[in-house]
Amino acid sequence: MPSSTLFRGIALQTSRQIPKVGSLPLTGSFIQGKVVSSTEEPLPIHAPGTGEVIGRMVPASKAQVDEAVTTAEKAFEIYQWGPRAGMERRSELLWSISQRLADEAGLLGQVESINGGKPRADADMDIQEAIRVFRYYAGVATQLPETHHSPEPLVSQTVLREPRGVCALIVPFNYPLVLAAWKVAPALACGNAIVLKPALETPLTALHLGRICAETGLSPPGLLSVLPGGGNVGEWLVGHPGVKHVSFTGSPRSGRQVALACHAREDRLIRPTLELGGKNTIVIDAGMEDRVEEIAKAIFDGAFGNAGQNCCAASRVLVHEGLHHSLLSSLQSLIRQAKLGVGKNAQVGPMISAQALERAKDVVQMARDAHDQGRSGGVVQGGKVEEGQETGYYLSPTLLLDIPDTHDLATKEHFAPILASLKPFSNLEEAISRVNATGGCIASGIWTPHPDRAHRFTRAVRAGTVWVNGYNATYPWLPFGGAGGGSGYGRDLGMEAIHEFSSTKSVTHFHSPC
């Protein structure tokens, strides 16, 4: 069956509200421009919004990992030195991919919403962000940075940027197409070959991306492969001697394993790019009394968007003592009115899996236990499965009150729609100290009417991204990543991603006198 026909079948079937078990064809890996199966045991693909099985995925085998990397090595040489190589060609390809994504945005939004358990409006926004990323790097591809020096009249020097080779890109379930775009686009812009491993739970839009790249003329065919699977596929990729760079987004525990594997390689040491999340805090300063409802809505979106399954989710809120009561009252009102589901009018979707839902319930119980022990205000809103949502993996948005800064509820990333409200602060320096006590995070934010206090906060907090009077807005040209602690190192997006996917070569040319 041609790959295009197979993938169209996936899209049409997943548009059903209640898919039938086994309604999708078997879906496997995308290697050398076609979908191929393996001898691995097929695994179910679930729709988080209903809990139904909508298809089966055949994970990549070790032999397929070897095949994908070997063909990528050969394709890399052609992509780098072949007759159609060069920055202009790469720019054209990236722009063409962005156009095809735009043409199929409706279809991709359907698939992302159902396979990823996202409210349809959120899924559509994700597709638009992926398009923007490819368009941005289409421009960057013709402007890769080189520097030139002439220390003496007869000496010229150039610092070149060269692609690394075969790159293993490992992305999580929470933003399947967006995070694939964050890595694939700059890697291709630099001239690399790619093996992309999507999460086992959400492989479908990554497979669509592989198809779209092939259909827009990305060649040779082995230049981009997509290998769905679990942790073993990632281990095989990271340990493969043909892989020259690893870019990973996921949990701190898995990220540490990736780092150790990269540094332990006997054939070649690799410094991976690691984006590992963290415990992010949004701070509400004094003087914002007139904007309480606006701020409450921003906190709601930042904490509960994507069901809290977001590496930069505002999972802690720290409010000035003068605003604490009124702001939390507004936030509770929003939580009570929240619409759960995956439809166009939904605000909060389900957790990705039944296992993730059970872990979130354990966190809620931990909060209730802390209240019973007199250690916190406990669960003041949400924290339950709403009536009518029993068939999906839903947990209502949950607000925890007066959580001690050192409690696990305030220090560990739980990746769930759970917001810990800390005890209020009295001055900005106290707030900064309490934010930094986590050791570093992906993001933080402050709402304040005072530019000088905003400046102090943005410079003092240890976070890779800081928002002022807003939250959770990313742009292709702004680098994204952690700031120490367990949040990882390296950057996605911006020109900094170009640095991740390329290395420098210093060339000195001694000229002869005329």
Provide DSSP, 49-75: TT--EEEEE-PPPHHHHHHHHHHHHHH
- Measured at the CA of 175, the angle between CA 169 and CA 177, to 5 degrees, comes to 65
Q: Rounded CA gap, 486 and 251, in Å?
A: 9
| Three-class secondary structure of residue 239 per DSSP | helix
According to DSSP, residue 340 is labeled B
Catalytic residue among 52, 67, 275, 500: 275
DSSP 480: B
Give yes or no: 294 in active site. Answer: no
Residue 496 near residue 157, CB atoms below 8 Å: no
Which residue type is seen at 473? A
What is the rounded distance in angstroms from the CA atom of residue 363 to the CA atom of residue 395? 11
* 43: β partners: 57
Structure tokens at 53: 């099985």
Instruction: Report which of 137, 87, 80 is spatially closest to residue 498, judged by C-alpha positions.
Output: 137
Rounded-to-integer distance, Cα 287 and Cα 309, Å = 31
451 upstream amide cis, omega within 30 of 0: no
Interatomic CA distance for residues 133 and 137, integer angstroms: 6
CA-only gyration radius of the chain, Å: 24
Taking residue 205's Cβ as centre, other Cβ atoms within 10 Å add up to 31
Under 8 Å between Cβ of 45 and 225: no
3-class DSSP assignment, residue 40: coil
DSSP string, 252-284: HHHHHHHHHHHHT-SS-----EEE-----EEEE
* Beta-carbon contacts of residue 149 (< 8 Å; ≥ 6 apart): 156, 157, 158
CA distance 310 to 295: 19
- Residue 117, token pair as written in the block: 């358990």
**Active-site residue numbers?**
275
